[in-house]
Amino acid sequence: MAHPASTALMTDRYELTMLQAALADGTAHRRCVFEVFTRRLPAGRRYGVLAGTGRVLEAIERFRFGDAELSWLEEADVVDALTLDHLAGYRFTGTVHGYAEGEAFFPASPVLVVEGTFAEAVILETLVLSILNYDSAIASAASRMTTAAGDRPCLEMGARRAHEEAAVAAARAAVVGGFAATSLLEAGRRWGLPTIGTAAHAFTLLHDDERGAFAAQVASQGAGTTLLVDTYDVAQGVRHALAAAGDAPLGAVRLDSGDLGVLAHEVRAQLDAAGATSTKIVVTSDLDEYAIAALASAPVDSYGVGTSVVTGSGHPTCGMVYKLVAREGASGELEPVAKASASKASQGGRKTAARRLDAHGRATEEVVVSGRDEAVVAWQPADGMRPLLEPLVVDGEVQPGWTGAEGVRRATRRHQESRAELPRVARRLSADEPGLPTVHLTV
C-alpha cells in the first residue's frame, strides 16, 4: 500500500475548530512554541527510545488540504468558509528541532520542539503524537529485546498481529531499536529494510510427508534456507532437514513450539553429532525480552519476535504530549505559558537539552534547560555535555538525512551509540526508576 497522498485529515476535529476560532479573533498568527515530551516512562521502564521522527517529517511534507479534503470538510460542516480558504493554502513554514531519531529519552526530555504560528503548529498535534507515541513504544520494546539478545540477531515478524499500516511502522521502529530484519515486504520496500522468511507449517502440511516438503523447499531456495522442524517430531524433523540438504551445509533450522531452551540444546547436539556444526538454530513462538533473556545460555543463533514487539511488549504507547509552552505576547516577544492542572502540569518556556557524560563517556544526567527565550536559544553545553536537539525543519524545509531509508540507517546507528552510552543499570530488564535523573537548569 502506497503512502496516502495527504496526511491532513489524520487530525482530531478540535485542532481545526481551534484554528477557526483563532482565525476569527486574530490570534492564529501569533508565533508559538510547542513541545513534545513525556511526563513519565511506562511503569518499570528505565529509558525510552525516540522513533518515528523521520515518518513525522515525511508526514509534515504531505500535510496538504487538497480538493478532496476540503470538500469533505465542507460537506461535514467541520469548519467555516474562512477556515477552508486558509487550509487550502496551508504549508508549514516553521522550524522543528528535536532529539535525533534513535536517541534514548527520559521524563521531561523535549524530544521535539515545533515553532511557527499557532495556525501552522497546532494542527500538527494529532499526527505528530500518533506517530511518535506508537513508533517510540515499539522501538523502546525492541531495544530491551536486543539488549537481552546481546550479539544474537532479533528478527521482526509481527505483521499479522497488528493493523496493516501499523505493521509497516512497527517493522521500521523495531529496526531502529536494534532488530536486524523484518518479515514484512512493504516495510522492506518502503524503508529499505532487510527482509527474511522461508516457510510456515502450512508448507510442510501441504506435502505428503515432511521429507518431501523439505526436499521441495531446498530445491527452490537452496540448502542455505531455514527449515521449520517442529511440525511433527523435532528430532525426526532435524534428520529430514539434514537429508534434504544432502552434502551441502544446511543454513538453519527453526523451532516454533515447546520448551525452546531444552529443545535448542537437544537440536544443537544432534546437529553437531551429524557434522552440521555450521547449521544455525532460530527460535520463535511468543518471545519477549524476558523469554529472550531466559534463553541466553541456550545454543540459539537468532530470535524471531512477533506479537510482543508490535504491541510494545505491554506498553503500546509512550504517553507523549504536545504542549504549547510559549506564545507571542502583546510586546511581540515570546512569553512562557504553562498548564497548571493537577497531575498534568507543564513547565512553560522554550527548552533545550544535553546529556552529561563522565570521564569515560558514560551518561550521568539528562539536563533540560529553560529560562528566558533568547538565553535558551543562545545556550551552549559545557564541557562534558552532549547537546541533544538537532535542526530537523528550517523555515519549512526538511533537512537532509532524516527521512527515507537513509533516515532509518542513521536512527539505527544513533540508537546503538546512545544505548551504549547509558550506565549498565539503565539497561537492566528489571523494573526500577529511570536510568538517568533529569536535572533542570535555568538560564
pLDDT in tens, 128-180: 999 999 999 999 999 999 999 999 999 999 999 999 999 999 999 999 999 99
Are 184 and 305 part of one and the same domain? yes
How far is Cα 314 from Cα 417, in angstroms, rounded to an integer? 26
pLDDT in tens, 70-98: 999 999 999 999 999 999 999 999 999 99
Residue 426 located in a structural domain = yes
Are 210 and 300 part of one and the same domain? yes
Short-list 431, 415, 420, CA closest to 100? 415
Our count of domains for the chain comes to 2
The percentage of the chain sitting over the pLDDT mark of 90, rounded to a whole number, equals: 95
Are 294 and 319 part of one and the same domain? no
Are 98 and 194 part of one and the same domain? no
Q: Which domain holds residue 217?
A: 150-310
Residue 2 located in a structural domain = no
Are 85 and 210 part of one and the same domain? no
Are 179 and 210 part of one and the same domain? yes
Max distance between CA atoms of the chain, in angstroms, equals 82
Are 193 and 291 part of one and the same domain? yes
Domain harbouring 231, CATH code: 3.20.20.70
Domain harbouring 47, CATH code: 3.20.140.10
Domain boundary among 267, 286, 310: 310
Are 69 and 118 part of one and the same domain? yes
Are 158 and 253 part of one and the same domain? yes
- Placement of cell 504549508 in the chain: 91
pLDDT in tens, 174-228: 999 999 999 999 999 999 999 999 999 999 999 999 999 999 999 999 999 999 9
Are 288 and 404 part of one and the same domain? no
Radius of gyration of the chain (CA): 25
Are 86 and 109 part of one and the same domain? yes
How far is Cα 175 from Cα 118, in angstroms, rounded to an integer? 35
Please, are residues 1 and 58 in contact by the beta-carbon 8 Å criterion? no
Please enumerate in sequence order all residues whose Cβ is within 8 A of that of 387, keeping only pairs 6 or more positions apart, or say none.
352, 353, 354, 380, 381
Residue 167 located in a structural domain = yes
pLDDT in tens, 336-377: 998 777 666 678 999 999 999 999 999 999 999 999 999 999
SS3 324: strand
pLDDT in tens, 385-420: 999 999 999 999 999 999 999 999 999 999 999 999
Are 295 and 324 part of one and the same domain? no
Residue 6 located in a structural domain = no
For 292, counting Cβ atoms within 10 Å of its Cβ (0-12 exposed, 13-18 middle, 19+ buried), the class is: buried
pTM for the predicted model, two decimal places? 0.95
